[in-house]
Chain A
Amino acid sequence: DAKTTQPPSMDCAEGRAANLPCNHSTISGNEYVYWYRQIHSQGPQYIIHGLKNNETNEMASLIITEDRKSSTLILPHATLRDTAVYYCIVRLTSGTYKYIFGTGTRLKVLA
């Protein structure tokens, strides 16, 4: 499975967009990009995923570069409750479906 690289921490002002980058330069054509977040002492929560195209749901948008070597998770209007560790994961489209978590980005939303 491809390895991901994320900045260890980021700050964002409440109400502003939070843009969280992820590098997955060794991703292969049959690997999805998934984003989860973990609020302190809880299990990870699914946010969004994509393969090639950009995706949007009620929580966030996912922008994947054309070469698929990197992606950006966008929280359009960050709130204090979005303070969490955000994990970018790449996962095969078939097989064991297991996730290998990287170190994640600790996002702190400031009032």
Chain B
Amino acid sequence: GAVVSQHPSWVICKSGTSVKIECRSLDFQATTMFWYRQFPKQSLMLMATSNEGSKATYEQGVEKDKFLINHASLTLSTLTVTSAHPEDSSFYICSARIRHSSYNEQFFGPGTRLTVL
């Protein structure tokens, strides 16, 4: 149980286009989902916290107009990278927090590798 999927697993796009990444909790309801970004040989950096039905909370330095997050249901959150540029190329990972769980709330997806040409 507690499986989180991401789609697509990798994407290549041209500079200036927008890319949408989906994060789904497959067998549980997620109160909260988190989005991270990871550059090569670096740690995960939290970008934003997303609660179902409300606006996402962005970490300092993350542009909310560039990284649009929608959390329309308890099993789906999407991250849209708008007007992507080569510097946005990265590994994007989501995690989901189990509703009403008392421990280990966060389960991570497999990640989406974005390459912007």
A residues whose Cβ falls under 8 Å from a Cβ of B: 34, 36, 38, 41-46, 49, 87, 96-104
Which of A46, A97, A101 is the one whose CB lies under 8 Å from B32? A97
Q: Which chain B residues lie closer than 8 Å to A43 at the CB level?
A: 4, 6, 93, 95, 108-111
- State whether the Cβ of B72 lies closer than 8 Å to any Cβ in chain A: no
Q: Is the CB of A99 within 8 A of B46?
A: yes
Which of B13-21, B63-71, B76-84, B98-106 is the contact stretch?
A: B98-106
Q: For residue A98, which residues in chain B have a CB less than 8 angstroms away from its CB?
A: 34, 46, 49
- B36: which A residues are within 8 A, CB to CB? 101
Chain B contact-residue range equals 20 to 34
Proximity string of chain B (8-38) to chain A, C-beta cutoff 8 Å, 1 when within and 0 when not: 0000000000000000000000001010100
A40 to B: closest C-beta gap in Å: 11
**Known contacts A41-B113, A97-B32, A98-B34; is-contact A87 B43 (Cβ 8 Å):** yes
- When chains A and B are docked, how far (Å) is the Cα of A42 from the Cα of B113? 10
A-B contact count (CB 8 A): 51
Quick one: closest A residue to B6, CB to CB? A43
Residue of A38, A43, A49, A103 with most partner-chain B CB within 10 A = A43
Q: Are the CB atoms of B43 and A49 closer together than 8 Å?
A: no
Q: Which residue from chain B places its CB closest to the CB of A44 in the assembled complex?
A: B108
